[in-house]
Amino acid sequence: MTVRVRIAPSPTGDPHVGTAYIALFNYAFARKNGGQFILRIEDTDRTRSTPESEEAILRALKWVGLEWDEGPDIGGPCGPYRQSERAHLYREHAERLVEKGEAYRCFCTSERLAELRKAQLAAKGQLGYDGHCRDLDPAESARRAQSGEPFVIRLRMPREGECLLRDRHRGEIRFQNAGVDDQVLLKTDGYPTYHLANVVDDHLMGITHVIRAEEWISSSPKHLRLYEAFGWQAPEFIHMPLLRNRDKTKISKRKNPVSLDYYRDAGILPEALRNFLALMGWSIGPDREKFTLAEMVAAFDIDRVSIGEPVFDLVKLMDLNGQYIRELSDEALVDRLLDWRFSRAALEQLAPLLRERMKTLCDFMVRGDFFFTGDIDYRGLAQDMISKGRSARETAAILQEYVEKLDEPWRDARRVPFEDEALDAFSRAFAEERGWKIKELFSAVRTAVTGKVATPPLFSTMRVLGREMTRKRLRDAVAALKSLPVS
């Protein structure tokens, strides 16, 4: 059997560090076993998926150095690799299940479902579909569909018995079928839900092992049921542990930067990030932390993956990164620097911002140091962020709210474009709405983002720093303000 594995990111946001983590383990497993590693884009959520996000994911994964053998950009024998281009396949498959009686059309209106949910909540009973259309006469169901009545297709889950998931690391996990909803497989618009598209594609793409994050364990009963309903053999499942913040909660942008772009901008080398992510679930041997991707592949044994709760510790990442940097030859280090912030294109972005404040060429670095530093040390800067008459708490709260707004999801119309005018207009309106003087807000933001009170135009600075670095600094500033003793 040729090993075929995949990652299947949904292009609904920033390129997530968790995607690179799962990709790394799939990649190592495929390479070790002479198999293929596939990238599939799961963009069936039409309201949240964006082409920009897909592009960012591909770019970021390439930066991390995890190249795929088949994917939307390079094609392959099982394409297309973008689910939005495979819609007809899911429709056909859903229809096939209806014919077999394994799925059924459901004509319930959204009003009825809302009423049902309300009643279930009030009765504090089990939530989920009540099976209203489950036993409709098939001829009647076909007639209603023919007449144009809108419907979804639902999976007919057994009402009793249990479903057994055999996870390679976690052993047997049992689920009571009665607790699993009759999942919608195909929506009224003819688009599939994640569950149907995921299973159909894993099958059609010949996926042998599904190595994915632990958070998908709860979807497994539906997936296993689908394999059974189609009469297909399910792949082997391996659920990787979630990356955690220090407090053991699931990694989140509120506590750790999660975008791969941040790590690139903060001067992390991709090989160090890969090594660090590998340590989140595997080790090459006792007392050895540093290893290359090739070494990982050569020594990789999926059965030695640990499912403990890996803590995404930035301090450790920085230490490892330092080791990698020190090992580069001078020439290689210069190449990295040129690629990072010293390329002609990067310097050309800075020149118009810094030139007005320069007396000598030296001032380029002196006046623009914050373009090159990663994180900022906020000790001693609190007074520069807090305007007269405002408290540290108030300032922390307003900056927090400000950064939340900059975090709006990609598809959200409220997402502020990271461009000078848009940032300016947004910031002014935001200050006004909150009853803050523009000057007060701008100086808090300026110090938070640059560590300085005088800088080139604030919004051009933010644009050049990029959304990720700007957000991270704002969040760090909020944390610094919150940690001040209340006066």
Q: What 3-state DSSP class applies to 105?
A: strand
Q: Report the 10 Å Cβ neighbour count for 248.
A: 9
Does residue 43 bind ligand GLU (CB under 6 A)?
Answer: no
Bridge partners, 186 (sequence order): 153, 192
Contact pick of 4, 86, 209, 212 for ligand GLU (by CB under 6 A)? 212
Q: Which of residues 166-195 bind ligand GLU (CB under 6 A)?
A: 194
Q: Which stretch binds ligand GLU (CB under 6 A): 6-14, 95-103, 272-280, 380-388?
A: 6-14
Cβ at position 194, least distance to ligand GLU in Å: 6
Q: How many residues touch ligand GLU (CB under 6 A)?
A: 8
112 residue type, one letter: R
**C-alpha torsion angle, residues 280, 334, 56, 79 (rounded to 10):** -80
Span of 7-15, 231-239, 329-337, 385-393 interacting with ligand GLU by CB under 6 A: 7-15
Stretch that binds ligand GLU, among 8-16, 161-169, 370-378, 425-433 (CB under 6 A): 8-16
At a CB cut-off of 8 Å and minimum separation 6, what does 331 contact? none
Q: Which residue of 63, 216, 230, 418 would you call a contact of ligand GLU, by CB under 6 A?
A: 216
| 58 binding ligand GLU? (CB under 6 A) | no
Query: Could you say which DSSP state residue 152 is in?
Result: E
Residues 6+ apart with CB under 8 A from 280: 21, 241, 243, 310, 312
Contact 172, 144 (CB under 8 A): no
Nearer to ligand GLU, 10 or 427 (CB): 10
Residue 250: beta bridge partners? 244
Cβ closer to ligand GLU: 238 or 284? 238
Q: Residue written as tokens 């408290």?
A: 391
Instruction: Determine the Cα–Cα distance for residues 408 and 415; give it in Å rounded to an integer.
Output: 5
Choice between 206 and 466, CB closer to ligand GLU: 206
Q: Which two tokens stand for residue 335?
A: 């190449």
Quick check: 368 binds ligand GLU (CB under 6 A)? no
18 or 451: CB nearest ligand GLU = 18
**Smallest separation, CB 30 to ligand GLU (Å):** 15
Q: Which is nearer to ligand GLU, 163 or 381 (CB)?
A: 163
- Pairwise CA distance, residues 201 & 398, whole Å: 45
Asked if 83 is part of the footprint of ligand GLU (rule: CB under 6 A), the reply reads no
Q: Going by C-beta distance under 8 Å and a sequence separation of 6 or more, which residues neighbour residue 299? A: 284, 285, 291
In the complex, minimum distance from the CB of residue 169 to ligand GLU, in angstroms, rounded to a whole number: 16
DSSP state of 71: B
Q: How far is the CB of 263 from ligand GLU (least distance, A)?
A: 19
Of the residues 118, 253, 255, 452, only one is catalytic, namely 253
Residue 439 known to be catalytic: no
Query: Binding ligand GLU by CB under 6 A: which of 9, 35, 192, 456?
Result: 9
Q: Is 42 in the site for ligand GLU (CB under 6 A)?
A: yes
Amino acid at 433: E
Question: What is the C-alpha separation between 258 and 46, in angstroms, rounded?
Answer: 23
Tell me the closest approach of the beta carbon of residue 135 to ligand GLU, in angstroms.
Answer: 31
Q: Catalytic residue numbers? A: 253
Residues that bind ligand GLU (CB under 6 A): 8-10, 42, 194, 198, 212, 216
